[in-house]
Chain A
Amino acid sequence: MSALDPRAQDAAQPDTKPGKKKILVPRVENGHETMVEIEVDDAEGSGRPQWGPRDALRLVNHELVRVDAVDKVTGCARYTHDVRLPGMLYARFLGCPIAHAEVTVDVAAAKKVPGVVEARVVRDGEVKFLGQPVAVVAAKTREALEDGLRAIVLGIKPLPFAVTREQSLAANAPEVNRRGNASKPNEEGDPAAVAKAFEGCAAVIEATYEVPIQHHACLETHGAVVDVPTNDSATVYHSTQATYASANEFKGPLKVKEVEVVNEHMGGGFGSKFEAGVEGRVASELARDLKAPIHLMLSRRDEFLCAGNRSGCVQTVKLGGDVQGKLVAMQSSIDRLGGLGGGSHAGLPYIYEVATSVRTMRSVYTHLDANRAMRAPGHPQASFGMESALDELAYALGVDLVEIRKRNVGDVHRRQLDRVAREIGWNEHPHKSKPDLSDATTKVGIGFGLSVWGGGGHPECRVTVEISPDGGVRASVGSQDLGTGVRTYVTAIVAEELGLSMSGVTARIGRTSYGPANASGGSMTSASLAPAVKHAAFNARKAFAESLAKTLKSDASEIVFDVQGVYDARSKRRLAWKDACATLGPAGISATGEWQAHLASNGIHGVQSAKVRVDTRTGKLEVLKMVCMQDCGLVLNRTGARSQIFGGMVQALSYALFEQRVVEPDLGIAMNANFEDYKLAASLEIPEMVAILDDEDTRGVIGVAEATVVPGHSAIANAVHNACGVRLRSLPLNPDKLLLGLAGLKKG
């Protein structure tokens, strides 16, 4: 059972003090999620904020338009890339163009280029990965910057490199990692028991499944704009998933005590933007030394090569089941491919219950940048191995593809499978346990995949809600918005509590000084932040009621806030919101809130399905429709949650069809470090998409982002086989593979 498996959270929690309970919460450290145990108040009394019955909610759990939608579509929203400060210099790296080399860097000529202010060596000597930054230039214009970078003279002595798994594991491979090019395999399970279990199976399949290294492909590249430090403080505009925590990373290189990080809008992180990185450090050093604001954002090429990747894997799976399709035995060996990093893989078996299993897992290192966390780290890889193998077994046994899944999962997934099957048209589909092997030239197939995620929140956020005498309400949170719509639900929660409309509340986000906030990882932002916002709004309302009770000579418990304003049940007096606020002193009300365990929950489930069409003459693969059903506790914004689901499905579709880092194995150079050759799905690839929110889930806020990206590509690959009988065991599902597969079928 993986640490993030929702079933983990149901485990009993002994040794708890009275009035307290222990819960498991996910936490991201260095981009890796782990589960930690924390103690929280167990009280659920009426003196605490409650979400209340769902049908009584007025804004939360409704269809809300993003409050910053107009800013975003009109270009008014200011991203880090857009920041321009007086006297600012543009800076950028020069990366090593090959995978492994001894490099000398001569910046003298670059310094002489008109407009160039500084050129520096970032690294010389041994360069260990393709694209590693070796020099930086700062210049007055971007044109001068280009010329400056071009003028740097690199002395490159190529060293033997390994950029593929095969090269790394070859007998005379160059050393990538001092402790060996492959880590010591870690084995779980009892091989003898598994071998015995296979003997009793009605069918056993064995195959190898591969996922290439892919990219986060954030539209906004990594980087920061660092203002000149003054005395003891500095302001840094940073495209980061950790606005609050990243301030600490800048203090050292800037040599200041206080740093204000500003991150009003960001263009994607997906797990790759937890740290300030070499770009943050170098930008800080330049700003400090040159006494000029520095704009250092990675070029698209650098972004592809030195800002992390989603690790690939090669997984060999043997899976056996009984006649009904109950999973009996599984054996797997997994190589994670994360460049210089360890890679990530959620482990096998994944999600499905298998009676007996054994697996070995190791990392194989190459001269590529280290992988970073990426939206559900390790899960899409595990999903591809598990769902593909399960499908192959179902066909071998002749069991319905939905039935076999239902037989090996819990209640929630079973219920969701039925609903998704209905929506995708499974009941009418003629090929439920055999692929379509007819002579038709275009064929339609359906495939499925499941997801799980931990989500949930933890205590880190401090939120402030202020009510001013002029009626204005402001909520301030130090958290960032990775694109999920944080401003919108912060606004909605506060407005809901105070009886206001969305326009009555202003949400401010993305500044260190707005208060401590969690890093956005592990799908934990909503479940960490929303309870604290609720608490702050609740405290503000209580303080306001107490103040009004004094003015109106009533009791705080008699004061009601609703859409018509403020009502005192004792005097039966009604005040308009503005008039009520006018009774406040000049300081108004300022209340803070912290995380409330009872308003959050964790552990989510999803089911996705894809319907595809294959043209057997040309190998054209079209995804026609995708369906997702997802639980995620209390939905804060239904439009926003569905949009997250769509985003996850599109990202998985893009992995399924196109995405793959290509490094030339003989030259050690990057072949597709740009958006022309690293193909992402675009508008014509997007199918009809249906996102069903699982309203039978009555828990608190959990968060949804990562689960939605886990199974889409698996469902698509399974649908391809269902359509035409070709099993594609390596991503992406390119037409060349499909055509060769179809030709193979014809030959028999």
Chain B
Amino acid sequence: MLQNENAPALIQIRDLAKEFDPQSKNTVEALRDINLDIEEGKFTVLIGPSGCGKSTLLYLLAGFEKPTRGSLLLDGKPVEKPGPDRGFVFQDYALFPWRTVLGNITFGLRSNGWSKADADAKAREYIAMVKLNGFENAFPHTLSGGMKQRVAIARALAYNPRVLLMDEPFGALDSQTRKHMQQELQRILMQTNKTVVFVTHSVIEAVFLADRIVVLTARPGMVKGIIDVNLPRPREYTDDSYLDIREAVLSLLSEEVEKELEMDGM
């Protein structure tokens, strides 16, 4: 990868804070003082205890929510609203039930001025990439969870966004399918070289996929620590070279999970 050491990171997060209902007495401070650089072509995983603000951070990057303080720059420009320079993969797929697999995947292309023929051809490339050949005309409700998430990934990649944002995309899948999807995602990303920000609860998933793992504290979410995972790809589940990385992530995380349990009075 051509990574100029001096070039600013693709995503720059500066002194970011997010509070929900800041005026009322039910204010929830979700994120505090987040400073983070996300580099082009890198797979960044956000991990942290439940309710620490992982989704919130991703929603801020997506432009679904606005920061209370601080700034979020993508390619030097502030993130203000959702737009096709980013792709989003939701935990519960968020496929359009009224569109076929092909229709879902062409949506982003058609919304950005592609002709129907070109969009169809491009979508078919991505259908092949996620191995859904033969399901072009199927409606989402006829697909399994794993297949739906493949469609969602293809849909988010097809219009070639700069960044792919993924919020626990495999959280609703059984463990067998989940493992398989992690390997598939690795394979797809080795082909596309996409910048990814990925939220998960699973340390194993984090270490398997990440170039860099950002551990957040219990609410309000702050950056607790950053762990780089410099392991060659493709990675295999049989690799035990990353057991010590798992240990490192777990020890950071477990402190925070305990804090969170205390907060909940458990």
Q: Do A and B bind each other?
A: no
Residues of chain A touching chain B, judged by Cβ–Cβ distance below 8 Å, are none
